[in-house]
Amino acid sequence: MASLLHDVDTSAAWTARALNSSGYRADFTPESLPDIERFMTEHTDHGIAADGGLPPAGPLR
């Protein structure tokens, strides 16, 4: 069984690849933080997933 740390690392790498493929810099450096903020601004409405945005709309379950 995988450890929690392994799951976190795997999820972080998957998320970074997804963001990179969508045109956002996500490379775990401080310089990539503006792109992460841009993603959140463009795809959420005050922190809630926006309709039509990349994150699924509605509450996470």
Q: Where are the domains of the chain?
A: 4-48
Distance CA 44, CA 55 (A): 8
Position 22 scores a pLDDT of 92
Helical H segments across 1-61, by residue range: 4-21, 33-43
Nearest CA to 43 among 31, 56, 32, 33? 56
Beta strands in the chain (DSSP E): 44-45, 48-49
List, for residues 37-50, the tens digit of each pLDDT value: 999 888 888 878 88
Position 48 scores a pLDDT of 83
Kindly give the parts of the chain with pLDDT less than 70: 1, 56-61
Position 58 scores a pLDDT of 59
